[in-house]
Amino acid sequence: KAGVTQTPRYLIKTRGQQVTLSCSPISGHRSVSWYQQTPGQGLQFLFEYFSETQRNKGNFPGRFSGRQFSNSRSEMNVSTLELGDSALYLCASSPAGARGYTFGSGTRLTVV
C-alpha cells in the first residue's frame, strides 16, 4: 500500500515568487491536512480538506491557499514568497479526519 506522496521533495525559490506543492494521500483516505514545520515552532496547522471542502484553516496569511481534487489529491500554493516561508511542508492523510494521520515525507522549501 503506497504511503502519502509529496512532490517535489526540495524546492528553492526566490523571494516574491509563488510555489505549488502537491500531496497524494493514501488510497481511500479522503482527509488531507497541511502543516508547516520550522525549527523551534514545531508543526503549525495550515488547513484541512475533506471531499474537496476546506473544513478548517490555521492562522496563516492569505498568501497560503490550498485545494483538494475529486481524487483526494491536494495542492497548496504560497504566493509572494518571503524568506520566512522557508520550512518543511508536511501533508498528512487519514480516512476521515484528524485521527490516525499518516504523514508524507514533506517538501523542503527554501526561499532565497
Partner 1 sequence: GENVEQHPSTLSVQEGDSAVIKCTYSDSASNYFPWYKQELGKRPQLIIDIRSNVGEKKDQRIAVTLNKTAKHFSLHITETQPEDSAVYFCAAYQGGSEKLVFGKGTKLTVNP
Residue 99 CB neighbour total at 10 angstroms = 8
Nearer to partner 1, 22 or 103 (CB): 103
Provide the minimum distance between the beta carbon of 31 and partner 1 in the complex, in angstroms, as a whole number.
7
For partner 1, the binding residues (CB under 8 A) are 31, 33, 35, 40-45, 48, 50, 55-56, 58, 90, 97-106
d(CA 14, CA 68): 26
83: which DSSP letter? Answer: G
Q: Is 25 exposed, middle or buried (0-12, 13-18, 19+ CB in 10 A)?
A: buried
Nearer to partner 1, 81 or 90 (CB): 90
Residue 88 CB neighbour total at 10 angstroms = 16
Provide the minimum distance between the beta carbon of 51 and partner 1 in the complex, in angstroms, as a whole number.
12
Provide the minimum distance between the beta carbon of 80 and partner 1 in the complex, in angstroms, as a whole number.
25
Nearer to partner 1, 30 or 73 (CB): 30
Nearer to partner 1, 13 or 30 (CB): 30
d(CA 66, CA 72): 12
